[in-house]
Structure 1
Amino acid sequence: MQHEKFSPKAFLFDLNGTMINDMDYHNHAWHDILTNTLGADISFAEVKKEMYGKNQELLDRVFGKNHFSNAHAEEISMQKELSYQQAYGPHLSLISGLDKFLAKASSHQIKMAIGSAAIPFNIDFVLDGLQIRNYFEAIVSAADVIISKPDPETFLKGAEILGIEPKDCLVFEDAPKGVEAALNAGMKCVVLTTMHTADEFNYPNIIAFISDYNDDSLKQLF
């Protein structure tokens, strides 16, 4: 944690890899569909690098823009999400310590929002499956923005709904593009090292790297 005191008024959470440790399941689901169903010549490691932003944006990066009709892209997206949910569902759980962290933030009247490139279908799967929807006053999904991360729209929209200035928001992220989105929004960031190592990040807005929410550095936020 940086030495200067920072007392945020709002926490904005990415979802996948940040609140739940599920990115490997997404990677497997995407790799299976991209290679076995759609015939792409792409490795598991290469798929991992492309897993940011909206599902349509990922398909555009792999196959080129307009390769699929909107209807076909949505069909592929839903097929992938159903595969992911079936595999990850039995393991659905919050990253260690997050349940207590959310409760503590709520008791300190810190406003909270979800800012994710996931579709509502997946966000509902997590929030309702873990019964934590009550903590969040705003949910910004892929359906709510024109351009996803690293564009700042996701986090700026979340801050706007909460009524909190960006400078007073703290973002929790696990991906470099997400941290870049927070930087572009003028927000500080805590990074979860669930999918990437600390040396993969080089952004001035990072105030801490944590493996889970039991990290003592988070106590300074309250």
Structure 2
Amino acid sequence: MNTLGSLSVILDLDGTLVDSEPNYYEAGRRTLAEYGVPDFSWAEHERYIGISTRETIADWRERYRLSAPVEELLAVKNRHYLRLAGASTRVYPQMRTFVELLAAEEVPMAVASGSSPEAIKAILAGTGLDAYLRTVVAADEVAHGKPAPDVFLEAARRLGADPADCVVVEDAAPGAAAAHAAGMRCIAVPYVAAQAGAPEFATAGLLLRGGQEEFTARAALTWLADSARRPRPGLPPSARAR
């Protein structure tokens, strides 16, 4: 039985539910190497965390003066990534527990990700998270990627939820900004600790500066329960979730 009132939870995938960034980095490194850009570093990759794959590649074309079209580069990177993801993608243990607890509470959940539909499907199936997370929105399915709110608003629409009743779980500053723009509360679990002070994270209802090492499923569930008891901003106490 759902004891969290009308709350719904929308989860980012990469860097939030699963530690897929090493695979994305390696896929990007291999792709750029094929097109004459050697020595793509992890530090360079970090600038793209939280940004959709399509927007990342569009920036690559300008930054590295690539002549190949976006669609071609997308296909090459996805091919590399799917091979890597199929071999191993690690779910953060406390995040898996969190999803299981939410499922036990019958809380509506969705995944809203900047990854391709194929990549999301492969990861969810490979990790077994697809048993709990059946509503999925990819960046390719909306007009604008994060930090625009489109992907979260579409997830809320598919869940049949009011955006004000949604809580987003995110690891990246563009995702936190997107949640705020969507009028949703946010649990921020920064993937890059050095970015925890970014102004976008200041809008989060719960900011765990220590990232995944600080996140616990029970504490997050307690915070959600407290959120469910609080009235939405601008609404009278009678509108409080029951």
Q: TM-score, normalized by length of structure 1?
A: 0.84
Where does residue 22 of structure 1 map in the other structure? Answer: 20
Point out which structure has higher relative CO (alpha carbons under 8 A, 6+ apart).
1
Distance 1:32 1:11 in 2: 35
Identity of paired residues, percent?
A: 23
Moved more, 11-20 or 36-45: 36-45
Provide structure 1 residue ranges, at least 5 long, that are not aligned to the other structure. Answer: 1-5
1:19-58, CA deviations, whole angstroms, 9 ceiling, x for partnerless residues? Answer: 1011122122213322x22234774212320344333322
Distance 1:7 1:43 in 2: 47
Please give the TM-score of this superposition, normalised by the length of structure 2: 0.77
Measured in 1, the distance between the counterparts of 2:59 and 2:53 equals 10
Partner of 1:99: 96
Q: What corresponds to 2:188 in structure 1?
A: 191
Conserved? CA contact 1:111–1:137, under 8 Å: no
The aligned residue for residue 157 of structure 2 is 160
Deviations 1:66-100 (A, max 9, x none): 9656xx42232222122223334333231112222
Do 1:112 and 1:136's aligned partners in 2 also have CA atoms closer than 8 Å?
yes
Tell me if 1:116 matches 2:117. Answer: no
Decide whether aligned partners of structure 1 residues 143 and 199 sit closer, same or farther in structure 2, where only a CA change above 3 A counts.
closer
Local SS of the residue matching 1:115: strand
Q: Which residue of 2 aligns with 1:62?
A: 60
Sort the Cα spacing of 1:8 and 1:175 in 2 relative to 1 into closer, same or farther, 3 A. farther
- Which of 35, 38, 45 is the aligned partner of 1:38? 35
- Do the aligned residues in 1 keep the contact of 2:12 with 2:170 (CA within 8 Å)? yes
**Amino acid paired to 1:204:** T
Structure 1 residues 205 and 49: CA distance shift in structure 2, 3 A: same
* Cα pair 2:170 2:187 within 8 Å, conserved: yes
Q: Which residue of structure 1 aligns with residue 204 of structure 2?
A: 205
Contact 2:156/2:163 (CA < 8 Å) preserved in 1? yes
Once the two structures are superposed, residues 130-152 of structure 1 have per-residue CA deviations (whole angstroms, 9 ceiling, x without a partner) of 22223234211022111100000
Q: 1:68 to 1:14 in 2, by over 3 A?
A: farther
Corresponding letter in the other structure for 2:216: N
Alignment CA distance shift 1:105-1:214 (3 Å)? same
**C-alpha contact (below 8 Å) 1:29/1:80 kept by paired residues:** yes
**Mean alpha-carbon deviation: is it higher for 14-23 or for 206-215?**
206-215
- Structure-2 residue corresponding to 1:3: none
The match for 1:132 is 129
Structure 2: state its 5+ residue gaps: 226-242
Measure the CA separation in 2 of the matches of 1:50 and 1:100: 28
Q: SS of 1:61's equivalent?
A: helix
Q: Which of structures 1 and 2 has the bigger CA Rg? A: 2
Q: Which residue type is aligned with residue 47 of structure 1?
A: H
Distance 1:50 1:160 in 2: 27
1:22–1:137 distance in 2 versus 1, CA, 3 Å: closer
User: What residue in structure 2 maps to residue 217 of structure 1?
Assistant: 219
Q: Deviations over 1:114-141 (max 9, x none)?
A: 1011111101111111222232342110
Deviation at 1:208, TM superposition (A): 2.9
CA distance in 1, matches of 2:85, 2:167: 28
Kept in 2: contact 1:174–1:193 (CA 8 A): yes
